Amino acid sequence: MITPPGVAWIIGGGSGIGAAMALQLAQAGWMVAISGRRIERLNEVAAKSSRIKPFQLDVTDIAAIEEAVTRVASQFGRIDLFVFGAAAWQPSRLADYDFEGFHALVDTNLLGFVRMANPLVRQMERQEGGGQIAVIASVAGYFGLPRAAAYNATKGALINLLQTMRTELKPKRIRVRMLAPGFFKSELTAKNDFPMPFLMETDAAAKRAIDGLLRSERFEIAFPRRLAWPMKLLRMLPYPVFFSITDKMMPKP
């Protein structure tokens, strides 16, 4: 199955994997709307292709979201593929569960998508052929890791939510997809001060994501496999074995 070119909308399209996906989709013949808070970044990406149009948006602003869905659908006629890639990330201090730190990540990574869900579903229900909703989660959402409590919690919650939506939205002809990439070069991973195995170039990660979305019907698009499969195996281990492994991930005093 190969999905023909249509209209895509990428949240987080001003940088990183979102920008790379926008450019690759445009090159493949898609019309692409890109959104994010930083209009200058969006304009830089849009300047590289006449098929890309910027729409500034803050996913913590529910009124702005309703307006943005209407604007994108009005300008392009429909939304065939929606990709939510907005993400906040900050390494956590060990055993520190500060509310403000958690709230900032949950508000963007999880509730940002929840705010967009109903307006998008209503739009895709109205249009012929339905559509696709894809969210960039992470292999980090498979289980809890030290020093990433808030980030892992948001990604794990997204995976769970998408599993529910996959079943509930299928009768409405809306396909729900979950992207679970490993480490790839971005502004967020540049903050990391720990080893990142199998670190991917941003363009390569974007290509893996697009190939999975347009050439398969899989719910889960996880890559690279040499990282994703060990992570998936780890979450299936008995807890005594699981915790003996994660204990070794703790920094040495």
Segment-wise mean pLDDT, segments of 10 residues, the chain, 253 residues: 86 95 97 97 98 98 97 97 89 81 94 98 96 93 83 94 98 96 65 61 93 95 86 87 85 68
Q: What pLDDT was estimated at residue 184?
A: 60
Radius of gyration of the chain (CA): 18
Q: Which residues contact 22 (CB under 8 A, 6 or more apart)?
A: 8, 10, 13, 32, 34, 45, 49, 52
The H or E element containing residue 54 is strand 52-56
What global pTM score does this model have? Answer: 0.91
Q: What pLDDT was estimated at residue 54?
A: 98
Catalytic residue (choose from 97, 142, 151, 239): 151
Query: Is 97 a known active-site residue?
Result: no
Q: What pLDDT was estimated at residue 3?
A: 79
Q: What pLDDT was estimated at residue 231?
A: 82
Q: Under a CB-based contact definition with an 8 Å cutoff, are residues 224 and 182 in contact?
A: yes
What DSSP state is assigned to residue 193? -
Q: What pLDDT was estimated at residue 246?
A: 85
- All domains of the chain in start order, with CATH: 7-247 (3.40.50.720)
Q: What pLDDT was estimated at residue 132?
A: 97
Length of the chain: 253
Q: What pLDDT was estimated at residue 23?
A: 98
What DSSP state is assigned to residue 59? T
What DSSP state is assigned to residue 12? T
Peptide bond into 224 cis (omega under 30): yes
Q: What pLDDT was estimated at residue 211?
A: 95
